[in-house]
Amino acid sequence: MTQTTTTGRPAAALRRVLIPLALAQFICSFAGSNMNVMINDMSKDLNTTVQGIQVAITIFLLVMAALMIPGGKLTDRYGRTRLFRIGLVVYGVGALMSAAAPNLGVLIIGNSILEGVGTAMLIPPVYILTTLMFTGVAARARAFGAISGMGGIGAAAGPLLGGLITSAISWRAAFIFQALVIGVIVVLSRPIKDPLPADPTRRFDIRGAVLSAAGLILVVTGILAADDNGWLTVALIAAGAAVLAAFFWSIRSDERAGKEPLLSSRVFKNHTANLGLITQATQWVMLLGTSFTVAAYLQVERGYDAIQTGVIFTAATAGLLVSSLGAERFAKRRKQRTLIIAGFLITIVGIVVLIVMVNGLKSPWGFAPGLLLVGFGLGAMLTPSVNLVQSSFDEDMQGEISGLSRSVSNLGSSIGTAVAGTILVAGLTKGAYAAAMISLAVIGLIGLLAAVRLPRGGSTVAPAPDPAVVPVG
């Protein structure tokens, strides 16, 4: 299944396969952050507000988070490469619709809904195919380093590329750029073959899919409502928690009945994977939260245009690029746990620097040192976190854990944008900026605590399932 050279490095054929997979993660992450620098241009052109654009951004991230688990599960039934290509088409249609959007409603349908659905269909196969085709810590670290690195670079470079395109042409051209990249991925992905056959007889848990999606939607919607109505926020989050509890009850009910649930309870019994998922969620909270907070502050409070804001973010992109390119080298020299801990420490220090610099320097380049540290820290830990979680399970669980892993990461992205936006909308001032960044640093400390609790020996293999609850779909 896996082609490697005598040195353990992926063969040329596999490296070529990795290009479209990494590009797919790049463009999806780019879509989640490039709109941050277009806030003013888009709100004026579409006759809406900063809050309206924030809602569109967050719905896009929310749709991905809500549908990643079902998307991962569908790969077993319809095949990983088939779902990947269908997702590309759906995404491309959404990008073109967004480019032609006459108002906020059409933008939400194209960008938030269609691009979100397309992403939920194509991203789980990216991580499943990578896990199945690359074996060994170094080879898989190299592969995930390329994919996670491109994802992080897409999120960090989104403001720069979005700013350049918006300033030179129009914000609409940024969506045309996405559609063009999708076209390139479609062509490059033609040689990809599915390592495992699809199984059309596999059961798809519709009840579980509805409950998991509804629960996640309610939770993030509650966070979004925080700046309008505190009681509504509490009610929505409580309702979301109740629906998610019903989802877990549904899982156990199906397993006791000998049916295959949307998500096996086995994924929650692996201590290493659970801690790894927490680190993933908090990483993306910090990445998207920092991106949205700094971009909004620079544009609204300091009056910078899209290109000026984007150029400042090159520091974060550079940090991510350097640490991502070193993923394989780091994996050979340091344990994954060590890399994740170091990444959190560097990122938190970067956030602190961003808080201090906003008051200390008037120059926009005062943000560069903090963004560089944030980018480097996140790039250093994105790859080992993904590798840790994916490698904790065997082939038969890859569809489920990939969907859950990507759902958790995108939920983190949604929460990061929602928390930062909620605080900033209350008043785009230095005080609100500092409050948002402090919140992100505190969330980073939670991730650091989870990383410290990871086993010192690295990832573990999932225990054999209890025969009494083996799914029989």
Which comes out higher in pLDDT, residue 137 or 334?
334
Q: Which of 66-70, 376-380, 412-416, 425-429 is predicted most confidently?
A: 376-380
**Spatial contact of 175 and 111, defined as CB atoms under 8 Å apart:** yes
> What percent of the chain lies above the pLDDT cut of 90?
19
Three-class SS state of 4: strand
Question: Measured between alpha carbons, how far is 79 from 335 in angstroms, rounded to an integer?
Answer: 33
Cβ neighbours around 410 below 10 Å, total:
31
Q: What is the DSSP letter of 47?
A: T
Q: What is the pLDDT of residue 428?
A: 52
Q: What is the pLDDT of residue 185?
A: 94
Q: What is the pLDDT of residue 239?
A: 93
Q: What is the DSSP letter of 199?
A: -
Give the pair of three-digit tokens for residue 330: 């780091």
Q: Half-sphere exposure (CA, 13 Å, Cβ side) for 105?
A: 0
Q: What is the pLDDT of residue 169?
A: 87
Question: Measured between alpha carbons, how far is 187 from 176 in angstroms, rounded to an integer?
Answer: 17
- Distance set, CA 235 to CA 140, 222, 230 (Å): 43, 7, 9
Which pTM was predicted?
0.72
Which range has the worst mean pLDDT, 17-31, 64-78, 221-235, 314-328? 221-235
CA nearest neighbour of 405 among 381, 388, 420, 423: 388
Q: What is the pLDDT of residue 467?
A: 26
* Amino acid symbol at 341: I
Which range has the worst mean pLDDT, 15-24, 109-118, 144-153, 238-247? 144-153
Question: Measured between alpha carbons, how far is 236 from 337 in angstroms, rounded to an integer?
Answer: 35
Token pair 């690359």 is found at: 134
Q: What is the pLDDT of residue 426?
A: 58
Largest CA distance in the chain: 64
Q: Which pLDDT band holds residue 1 (cuts at 50, 70, 90)? A: very low
Question: Measured between alpha carbons, how far is 291 from 315 in angstroms, rounded to an integer?
Answer: 12
Exposed, middle or buried: residue 289 (CB in 10 Å: 0-12, 13-18, 19+)? buried
DSSP 312-374: HTHHHHHHHHHHHHTHHHHHHHS-HHHHHHHHHHHHHHHHHHHHHHHHH--SGGGGHHHHHHH
Question: Measured between alpha carbons, how far is 122 from 129 in angstroms, rounded to an integer?
Answer: 11
DSSP 248-268: HHHHHHHHHTTPPPSS-GGGG
Which comes out higher in pLDDT, residue 199 or 246?
246
DSSP 125-183: HHHHHHHHH--SHHHHHHHHHHHHHHHHHHHHHHHHHHHHHHHHT-HHHHHHHHHHHHH
Question: Measured between alpha carbons, how far is 365 from 367 in angstroms, rounded to an integer?
Answer: 5
**Spatial contact of 337 and 393, defined as CB atoms under 8 Å apart:** no
Q: Is the pLDDT reported for residue 58 higher than 80?
A: no
- Distance set, CA 161 to CA 158, 218, 303, 452 (Å): 5, 32, 19, 36
Residue 355's φ and ψ, nearest 5 degrees, are: -70, -45
Token pair 């520091």 is found at: 315
Q: What is the pLDDT of residue 465?
A: 31
What is the per-residue pLDDT across 286-314, written as a single tens digit (0 to 9) for each?
887 888 788 778 877 777 776 777 778 77
Q: What is the pLDDT of residue 443?
A: 92
- Distance set, CA 339 to CA 11, 279, 333, 442 (Å): 26, 12, 10, 20
Mean pLDDT score across all residues of the chain: 79
Which range has the worst mean pLDDT, 76-85, 327-336, 374-383? 327-336
Q: Is the pLDDT reported for residue 340 higher than 60?
A: yes
Which comes out higher in pLDDT, residue 233 or 118?
118
Q: Which pLDDT band holds residue 3 (cuts at 50, 70, 90)? A: very low
Q: What is the pLDDT of residue 462?
A: 36
* Amino acid symbol at 420: A
What is the per-residue pLDDT across 247-272, written as a single tens digit (0 to 9) for each?
989 988 988 888 888 877 777 888 88
